[in-house]
Structure 1
Amino acid sequence: MWKDEDEGVVAAGVVSLFGPDDSVTPKQKNAKEKKNRAQKQHRQKTKTNKKETRARQKDKDTMDTFLGLFDPTLEDETTDDIDELNGNVVEKNHENTQYKNCKNSYSLRSETLGGVRRGPRVAIMPDQLPSEPQEGNIEYKLKLVNPNHERFKRLVSQMQWRLREGLGEAIYEIGVEDSGILLGLTQEELGASMATLRRMAKQLGASLTVIREKTISGHNGEIRKAAEVLVRKSWYCDAFSAFSGMAPMTEEHLSLARALDVPIVIVITKTDMATPQQIQRTINDLKQTLTQPGYKRVPLLIQNEDDAITAGSNQLDNNVVPIFCASSVTGDGLTLLKKFLFVLPPRMSNKEREKLEQEPAEFQIDEVFHVDHSVIVGGLLTKGVIMQGTTLLLGPMDNCTFVPVTVGSIHRNKVPCRVVCAGQSASLSIKGQDLSLRKGMKLMSIEARPRACFYFQARTQVLHHSTSICRGFQATVHIGNVQQTAVVEGILGSRGLHTNDRGSVIFRFLRQPEVVQNGARLLFRQGMTKGIGQVIQVFEEEPDNVNLYNGYER
């Protein structure tokens, strides 16, 4: 112990090596222990309060985030502000596109990139990708700035090959070297590259969607960006009678194909029943419809084999619509139609089929039959492989559960077989207890651990509606083989949607839950009301028999 000369107080800064200082009285010792206990209790109480506060705040943030999707109270927002909030900002001038910065890379807000609509920003790109695969539908491009004519033709051919590898879909990584290093591009370079990519897609009748992007800091602090772009291509074929001419349903189908921005091919049937004057009148009406300002398509009447090969081999622009005149009775025009279908790009490559066969099985039920006390389901196997004796999960039921069933016999094209692979249609005989089946159900592998949902969020576009779509509006929703009435529970950032409006909408299935996957395309209709969209978020329900997944093996 020592005496502090300045303060005149005893400092207990040194403790004897042989034990505590005897000068500390029992009264002082008890007071110190009491103080230590009080401080310890205070620390424990503070720590407990912090944990409870964080838990309450987490629950509150989760609920606020969910309820915020349903908040239509933006009273002072202008139409442009609402469109931007719903992710509907599309630059009108593609050549002079201005890029907009996003503060939060995980925001659900959509923006545009090079005049192409960007999807919900639910993830960012990694710092480095694997090396570019030589096969498949993934292509790396560092930049595509003002290519010459010869290079542009090679780029289009390359995109066509990638699309064939990916069943009509291809992934382009812009601003990425072949080794997978993300170098990024400046705003001007990225805009020029997206413009070139858009020109390439237009040559093949494909559409672009920016999936995600990453901001990269350059050596001198320069901000650069890399983007991942989805290129997609599909065909729409409309057939109607030359004898009856164009019906209102035909015009409705053409308008949906135009809204979905897919290539169109038209077949005029029953030419044996119609006079030459009726056939010509039907063709003239069709040409008049396709050349309207809303369509701006160029009809092409296929008259010989060269026309069919040129149209089917993707040598035409996306705005050209092939027209065939055929008769199933006399066979006129069927040869040209078959030639056209023969030269179309394959729907599924062998490599892609092999990939799908490695995934857990997923069978869409489109038809249900009852034959001699047996239950038969017909549909399409989208993933995996199903063999006789396989145990699958059937559902969802009304309580979101899936029940185990066993596959008995398998038929394809009315011929018995032992196995069905991805991409094939088949009829399956299933066995189970108290089966309640309906169209739209699925047979799924136990490894897939399927979940059903009542609520899902979709980015939609209203094609036609007489007034305004608001909360509570009911419409029939089509998602793959799912067809059910759904209720609009909320519209993100808006009180209602009118014709040609876009917005993020929360739907709720009215009767029973369904299996819905992110990225699935949807169509909703009610009377004359029509709309399209894409699922961007699914609110899955936990099944009551979730432990069933752990009780079976594949």
Structure 2
Amino acid sequence: MVLNYKENMEKLQLTMDSFFSLFDPSSCNDCNNEEFAIDNMNNQNSLPPEPQLGNVEYKLKIVNPTKQRFEHLVTQLKWRLREGNGEAIYEIGVEDSGILAGLSKRDMTASLQTLQQMAVKLGATTTILRERVLDNGRSIAEVLVRKVPDDQNNIEIRVAVLGNADAGKSTLLGVLTQGSLDNGRGRARLNMFRHLHEIQSGRTSSISHEILGFNSQGQAINYSYSELITAEEICDTSTKLVTFLDLAGHKKYIRTTIQGLSGYSPHHAMLVISSTAGAIGMAHEHLAIAVALNVPFFIVITKIDLVQPTSTLESLESFLKQVGNDVITAGANQLTENVVPIFCVSSVSGEGLELLSRFLHVLPPGISAKEKERLEQESPEFHIDENFKAGDLGQILGGLLTKGVITEGSKMQIGPMKNGSFQNVNVKSIHRNRVPCRMVRAGQSAAICLDTIVLGLRNGMVLLSHEENAKVHIGNIRQTAVVIGICSSKCIHTNERDSVLFKFKLHPEYVTVGQRLLFREGASKGIGEITQVFPLTLTP
């Protein structure tokens, strides 16, 4: 199915109005074909049944609840916020079955007031995303409830920006993050470039990070929000922060682009296609990589002030089918493998930018609160993407923390070096989004300053918790060893038994099956018997 330009813009507007309602992660198994998606978009008398899991809640009405009922509703909201990592969507005037019954004006006002009181109870805010009057004269409302987790300054998502060279990626990011339209000659993109050759060629060759914030009411917080606003102030003012990873588009920088997609684990990918050129060049390869890495994506068609995107839209259906997608319309709540939102924008005239901004405001994080909590409880593992020395500051590491929590002053180990060893280091300071902070959590990117210069440092190394090492005693052997893995669990508690795989940190030792082993790390210690030995593989 291919829509003409006018029909597409009408459908996209309709889709944004019901962005959260048409699909939900728990109902994706029911959305495995194009007909289902299109039928639900056009059938505005019902939505999919209320999901059991996820952050979407249907309420027919919540008028004058009893004290006991109110406390139950607050508990329910707290759970939905947890499922959405700080964001929940409430559909007011909708039955659990998905039927849009609607409410009278009086009941709608009372229901919205009750929802606001529930949010205040939890320290959350409410924002009405849309209100709609049904054919029966009654209305429905869609409300975003947001509560920044207590251990975070804001809710953050990472969006990788992909697309062919000259598609307008950096220009679009410049307009979104700087708040000023382009002059048609690339002025907006100059703030995105990091190197002189990028300014001279107009092409991105490295990975740059740009931020766009939103306050609790959905207003964009960028560098035009107030005079001389800083990145730190954007982070402090925003309840939601979108971090864009501007990736290179030219084919000779494909390794850098893959590195950004795989190393920084973005929650979503934004594929930028120029209306003047269409889906050509590296766009196919970039999208194939995103799909291979299971990164949900959406599409932005730029330069519609120069050429109407009719032909580009017509070619997108076959383009998306080539990478395993069969729908070119937009969906709701969470991007799925069946639903691809498409936006048509101009960085010069500003057309379509407000719609894109609204989309980014409600774009959900790609990790559940339960999974996030699990990762934070594991030992820290920081993957190094960049490293450099900054004068008297010392060694700077840039990358992504995939597990655990790192704080200022943490004792860590970095490696492996060429000989397989790890070097002990201390975390001197931490910066996120160019702003100093005391802590970085699992799923967050950061720049970490060490207290010492590390010789032989290279990208691809990891920064691990110092606690991953244990001192092993086997007969007259005494050496530090790294715990590689525990067979049946993540950890061993007092009086528990399990199989543990150790690896000597410095050099090989001669050990045999049956020897007794004692290991200790701080106040922790354990005893056991060697059950298996892995011989050293010598290289010629």
Please indicate, yes or no, whether the TM-score normalized by the shorter chain is above 0.5: no
- TM-score, normalised via structure 1 length: 0.37
- TM-score, normalised via structure 2 length: 0.38
